[in-house]
Chains A and B, each alone.
Chain A
Amino acid sequence: MTHSLHRSALSRPLDDDFVVFALAAQGVNSKDAASKLRTIYKILRKHRPVNLADGFNSIYTGKSADEIEASIGDSAYPAAVYTSLDTVIKVLKELTGADQGMSVVVSGDYRKLIKAVKEAGLTPHTINLSLGVFGDYEGRTDPAVADIASMCGHGLVCQRRIKKAINEVKKGKQDAVSLARELASACTCGVFNPERAVRIMLSAAGKGDACQ
C-alpha cells in the first residue's frame, strides 16, 4: 500500500499534515504482534491525533477509539494523523522508549521529517519519494479538490463529493467541520486529515483558512 505517500500540496503546504503508522512485517515479526501494535496505538492515541485508525477502521468510520483498540490484530496498521511536527517528534521519542520492535513510518514533507526523525534520536532508514502524477487527471485543474482527495491514498474520497462540500461551505449551507468529518468517513485507513480539509475548504470557499 502507498496510502499516505502522494499527499499533494497544490493549494497549501503540508505544514499541518503528518501521518505516523506502525506495522509488523508479515511472516517475519508478525507472530504475537497484536499486543505490541496495541501498545503503539495507545501511544499514538495519547498525543491527540486528528484521525486514528488500525488500517481497517478509523474513528470516522463508525468505530470508537476503544473499539478500534480492542480489534487490533497481528496484521493491523495503527495509524494517526497529527497537525504539528513537534507532536510527531514527541510521538517518535515515546515510541522509541516503548521499544516494541515494530516498523514505524512517518509521512509528510520529507525535508522537515528527516530532521524531525533525527531530533527524536532515530536514524531514518528508507524513504519513498513521491514524483507525483504522470499523465492527465481531473484534479490537476482544481488544486483544493486534489489536495483533499489525495489525503485518502486509496482514492475513496470522491472528487465530486469534495466539490459539493466546498460549494456548501461557500453558500453557508453546512459547516466545514461537519463536512470534513463526512469526507473522512470514506477513508478506511484513517489517514485522512479532517483539520487540513477544513482549512482547504474554507480557503477555497473564500472564507479564510482558520480552523473552525
Chain B
Amino acid sequence: MTEDLDTQIRQFIDGELPPADEQDALHRIADDEEARHLLRFELQVRADWNPGSAPEVPAGFADRTMAAIETETTAAPSSSRVVQQLRRLGRWLTTPQPVALRPALGLAVVMVLVVAIGLLPFDRFDSGSTPTSSSVTRVAADAQGERQVVWTRFMYANDEASSVAVAGDFSGWEPVSLTAQSVNGRTVWTGLVPVPKGEHQYMFVIDGSKWVTDPLAPIQRDDGFGHKNAVLRL
C-alpha cells in the first residue's frame, strides 16, 4: 500500500474526506487488497467494540479507592511523608511558577488562546457520522423448496447516483434495484434480496450502466472481462 493511499484510507476512516473524494477513496481501496483488509478490520472493530460494550465501572468505585488512598497515606510512616514533602518542595522549586502580567498583555494572551482553540479542526468522525457499514448483511434465512434461502441486505453509499442496483449470479446478473435512504445526511442505497445458501458473485450497478466492485467485499475475483466481482459466502 502506498503512503498516499495509506493517508487516504486514514482520512476516509476519520471522516475527513468530502463525499466526492470518498467515492474515489472507496474505489482505490477496492483495488488494493491490504487497504480492503484494513477497512474491513476497522468496520469489524467498530461492530465488535462499540463503546457500549465496555463493562460498567461499579458504583462507588472512585469513593472506595480514594478511601483506600486516604488510609494508605495516613498510615504511612512519618519518615516517608517527610521524603514525599521534600520531593514536592524540590519539584516546586524546579517547576516554572505563574508570573503576574500587565492586564493588556494578559488580554492579548487570552485572545491568542481563544483564536488557537477556535482553529482546532472539527473532528467529523466524532460528531456522530455513521461509519460505512458492511455492504452485505444476512437478515434471515428460510427454506424455499429444496434449497435454503438467506434474505440478504445489500447497501451502497452514494450521494450522486440516480439509481443503484445489485446484480449477481443469484439474480441471473439482472440488476435488482436498491432503494435510497438518508442516513446521517448521506444517501445509502439498500435492499433485501433472497440469495440461496452457498458462494455467489455480485457487483453494484450505478445509474443503470456503471458496474462497480463492492469496495467492502473481503474477497474479490476477476470476472474475465477486466473487472472484479465481489464474492459472497452464505
Is B one of A's binding partners? no
